[in-house]
Structure 1
Amino acid sequence: MTSTDEAAVWVLSGQQDPTADLVVRELAQRGVPVFRFNTADFPTTLVMAAELRDKGWSGTVRAPCRAGALDSVRSVYYRRPEEFRIDGDLPAGAQEFALGQSRAGLLGVLGASPALWVNHPAREGEANYKPWQLAVAQWAGLDPPRTLITNEPDAARHFVKTAPGPVITKSLVGGVLVDGQRRGAATTVVDAGELDDSIGLCAHLFQDWVEKAHEVRLTVVGDCFFAVEIHAGSEAARIDWRSDYPSLTYCVTEAPPAVRDGVVQLMRHFGLAYGAFDFVVTPTGEWRFLEINANGQWGWLEAETGLPIAAALADLLERGTSK
């Protein structure tokens, strides 16, 4: 039997998402109603009927066993739902049209909700443009490294030749699609001799290498800051800690006041309620901004350190406000 939860927290996530599970479990223990669904189920097993009224969209979104009322959403946890898909044997053009219609219809209605979003997909999309976030970080005093974005081979060669030390390159987006999943591309140190004209095929990011004592993942949930030192145990992890998780060790730390102030400014600029920040901490103790992932992972850090990140997210979603 389908039931409609009043003032529920809506959780948009994939079918297999242990990180979302941690938050849903925390909310359930508090007796907070949750309506969880996956955008990939629309329009096959997920059904929406929305009518525009005086105060916005009214109606329901229905999954096979539950439903949610559009005009009584407490908050929304937008936690990496899967891409829309269309079942059935449609010609390629018709399938592309149907996917576009479904995406615009569902996300257009949901996105108009005035409820708290963690994070709103439009705000998340803006914040995840690395050139944009680097410029805002610079403005906010977070001291990102010297960076070049280019598709011009000569500009890349000049940047590397004039660098005070090594230069790295990393992807501008979250990796490549492999079997429908995004797989991250590791940060690599540039070999100047390998900078050829293939740079002209797309935009590339080049950045000065910053000497590091360690790195920090700073997870921000509303006004809660969870800072964890990440210490590399291998050469590969020293360049990119994501490339060798088994070698890593962790230590809870505190962000300096100036870093906290800059992070708050960046979050406000992009309208974010959540952010996963990566910093290099130099041998002299300076914090240098690398990037923010507006939907970055945090579950493994809670498991490693015991930091109550799931509880902080549940607090935020239960309140329905970032304050």
Structure 2
Amino acid sequence: MSDNRSVLVLTNPYDVTADVVLRLLAERRVPVVRLDPGADLHADASLTVTYDTDEQRGTLRTASRELDTTRIRSVWVRRPSPYEGPPGLNDQDRRFAAEQALWGTRGILASLPGASYLNHPWNNRAAEFKPAQLSTARRCGFLVPDTVITNDPHEARKFATHQPGGVVYKPLWNTLYRVDDRPHSVWVREVHAAEITDAVSVCPHMFQAKVDKAFDVRVTAVGGRVFGVRIDSPDLDWRHRQDLMTCTPVEVPEPIARATVAYLAELRLTYGAFDLAATTAGDWYFLECNPNGQWAWQPAETTAAVAHAIADQLEKGPDT
């Protein structure tokens, strides 16, 4: 292979999804460096970058590799650990070290010259805001359920009253939550106007017209390639009891494929995991897009196709 530049994969050591793609890259003899910057750089790895008027130079050293950061073709921002600082320090010093790593190390790894990103971390973060997702989806041609985001209980109740098919509540972010000191997930659920109390005033809440869906759809997009899976579940939120759902590959209609590619382009993403709801009339409604969503849980043929598409993107590197 004439191009010996490396692919840098930023993820934790337990990320088995990344392993699927790394095996493909190894078969293609593409050099790969795997790094969990929040943990490795206060263990057995180091990162040094220098800047001057003429150039930027850098070296990443791990237990097994030394990498010239100007020779990185692609960066896959998968699931790196949080920047928490090294153990053994007091709380204040550990917090200081963690924040310096976040703003220093993360800043370096997000500004590598000549590298392409899947996805760039800044773009990932911007694309995680649900209001931005809904606004972008509308512009790109998706059908979007009637939605209100408000901290006004009166407006929330009024919205719910005027939706003949019912209303669901969705959290705007999957915040870690505990009940009786046990982890608790806040699932999408149907609500009625009478249930909406003045507690809504504490923070913004998202209410959305319930889609009379025949089934759910996950569309996984990598660059200009889209892969659809139909999800049949007894639950309103299929994530709740995934052992009860069934998944089968489904063809993505051309208008949905075009809207998906346009969405990625507008938010400067290479990858996106789109959740949609399909009605009995054949309409597909946009619900949300996770710019770094999991994909290896899908049927084997879909998982393999997505893995190859990601490997292709990482191997290709920046457009020239």
Do both proteins adopt the same fold according to a TM-score greater than 0.5, normalized to the shorter chain? yes
Q: Of 285, 293, 296, which residue of structure 1 is paired with 2:293?
A: 296
The aligned counterpart of 1:9 is 7
1:200 and 2:201 correspond: yes
- Give runs of aligned pairs for residues 185-264 of structure 1, distance below 5 A: 185-232=186-233, 234=234, 236=235, 239-264=236-261
The aligned counterpart of 2:21 is 23
1:159 and 2:142 correspond: no
- Give runs of aligned pairs for residues 121-200 of structure 1, distance below 5 A: 121-176=121-176, 185-200=186-201
SS of the residue 1:213 aligns to: strand
| Counterparts of 2:190 and 2:302, CA distance in 1 | 30
1:62 and 2:61 correspond: yes
Runs of 4+ deviating beyond 6 Å: none
The aligned counterpart of 1:276 is 273
Give the letter for the 2:150 counterpart: T
1:116 and 2:127 correspond: no
| Counterparts of 1:153 and 1:273, CA distance in 2 | 38
| Counterparts of 1:177 and 1:40, CA distance in 2 | 23
> Could you list the per-position Cα deviations for residues 28-69 of structure 1 after superposition, in whole angstroms to 9, with x for gaps in the alignment?
111111000102225412311101145653111222222322
Superposition TM-score, scaled by structure 1 size? 0.90
Give the letter for the 2:58 counterpart: G
CA contact (8 A) 2:187 2:237 kept: yes
| Counterparts of 1:133 and 1:51, CA distance in 2 | 37
Q: Extract unaligned runs of 5+ from structure 1.
A: none
Give the letter for the 2:211 counterpart: V
Give the letter for the 2:312 counterpart: D
Q: Per the alignment, do residues 300 and 241 of structure 1 end up closer, same or farther by CA in structure 2, a change over 3 Å counting?
A: same
CA contact (8 A) 2:295 2:303 kept: no
Give the letter for the 1:291 counterpart: E
RMSD: 2.1
SS of the residue 1:289 aligns to: strand
Task: Give the number of equivalent residue pairs.
Answer: 312
Could you tell me the percent identity over the aligned residues? 36
- Tell me whether 17-26 or 94-103 shows the greater mean CA deviation: 94-103
Q: Per the alignment, do residues 56 and 83 of structure 1 end up closer, same or farther by CA in structure 2, a change over 3 Å counting?
A: farther
> Could you list the per-position Cα deviations for residues 112-164 of structure 1 after superposition, in whole angstroms to 9, with x for gaps in the alignment?
12411110110000111000010010111101111111112111111111112
1:311 and 2:319 correspond: no
SS of the residue 1:64 aligns to: coil
- Tell me whether 211-220 or 300-309 shows the greater mean CA deviation: 300-309
CA contact (8 A) 2:219 2:229 kept: yes
Give the letter for the 1:301 counterpart: Q
Give the letter for the 2:268 counterpart: G
Displacement after TM superposition at 1:23 (Å): 0.8
Q: Of 281, 286, 290, which residue of structure 1 is paired with 2:283?
A: 286
Q: Extract unaligned runs of 5+ from structure 2.
A: none
Give the letter for the 2:30 counterpart: V
Q: Per the alignment, do residues 177 and 15 of structure 1 end up closer, same or farther by CA in structure 2, a change over 3 Å counting?
A: farther
| Counterparts of 1:66 and 1:248, CA distance in 2 | 43
